[in-house]
Amino acid sequence: MTRLEKKFRRIAQKLTYLEFQAGLSDDISLSLDDLFSDGKPAQRSDLFLGKFSRDGIALIIKRFGFDQLLRRRGLGKLEITVDTNDPYRHILRIYHNAQHTPDHLVCEFVTHQDVLRAKDSLKFGYEFGAIKVLNIEWMTLQNPSLEFLPTRPALPGQRFPGLGIGDEVLTLLTIMGRSLGVDGLLNVPQYYHTALMFSKRFHFVNPKMQATVQTITRDLWNRHRLATIAWAIYYECLYDEINQRYFIWEPEEQLVPVTSMLRKYFQSEEYDQGVNAAMKAMKFRLDEVKFQQALKKHGPENLRS
């Protein structure tokens, strides 16, 4: 358990029923068990993920220090919206400066509870039944008050610079996952850099995909910065010298284990052997000529040599 997770667990354990009542509207009553225990209270369709009211989320943001983290980044007057109109797909948004516009969006979190049938996606003999997951369909963490710099250019899919609080957010989500009674948190990253951010806590279910991300780090990070690698992958400019083909990013499932069942899988000898064997079968280099041609045609300009 990391120092940050220990800190967040202590905060969760100190939250009281009366404090939640003070932060909630009159028609909603949530106890500590409703928010952070391992119990399974009845869920409500008008609450985010069946358990969290808008005021309850605001209290969580304050108690875990996210409001201070955002103020230090010049983001204040936070307002939260929760969309539960689709019972299978909930959306949480946080805006700054009390303006509900795309130019003031700080966080967007799209999620639902799901079942991953790992036996259908795992091809290497490790047996699972159905795995209950909190599926993170989409997560945006951005600072709309900042502009990109030559030293920190935009990454694929980014509209504004990131917030730099990904580890804190993922730690809180892990604690929330326990309260929801899921086996793990699921993410299917559309971009390499997203997978890299999640990789501090998440592991790819497929050891070959885990090996791919680790091999990119091994082969490229001592010569290229993140933005260069991210855009090179986006434009399919990484060449696998062993398999003699260009690498194409194909999104796959990443999981952070909440239950011991999944932790044992990712810590297993079979998983490690799968990762190590796959890493030996890959060797990447950046095709500079193809990459510069792609940048000249599509951008971004500040990555061109």
pLDDT at 7: 94
Q: Which tokens hold the place of 73?
A: 């980044």
Local structure of residue 149 (DSSP, 8 states): B
pLDDT tens column, 143-174: 999 999 988 899 999 999 999 999 999 999 98
Q: What are phi and psi of 255, to 5 degrees?
A: -130, 140
Where do the H-state alpha helices sit in the chain? Answer: 3-14, 17-22, 32-36, 54-63, 66-72, 118-121, 166-180, 192-198, 207-220, 226-234, 260-266, 269-280, 288-298
Q: What is the pTM of this model?
A: 0.86
Starting at the edge strand found earlier in the chain, the sheet holding 238-240 runs 245-246, 238-240, 284-286
Residues of the chain with pLDDT under 50: 17-23, 27-29, 37-42, 120-121, 123-125
Structure tokens at 179: 């309260």
- Confidence (pLDDT) at 106: 98
Q: What is the pLDDT of residue 46?
A: 74
Report the pLDDT value the prediction gives residue 102, as an integer from 0 to 100: 96
Residue 129: strand, helix, or coil: coil
In sequence order, which residues have a C-beta less than 8 Å from that of residue 153 and are 6 or more positions away? 227, 300, 302, 303
**pLDDT value at position 246?**
99
Looking at residue 34, its pLDDT comes to 53
For CA atoms 33, 57, 47, 117, the dihedral sign is negative
Residue tagged 């307002």 (tokens): 79
234 burial type by CB count under 10 A (0-12 exposed, 13-18 middle, 19+ buried): middle
CB 77 within 8 A of CB 97: yes
Residue 55: predicted pLDDT: 86
106 near 75, Cβ under 8 Å?
yes
Q: Which run of H or E residues covers position 247? A: none
279 within 8 A of 214, measured Cβ to Cβ: yes
pLDDT at 124: 47
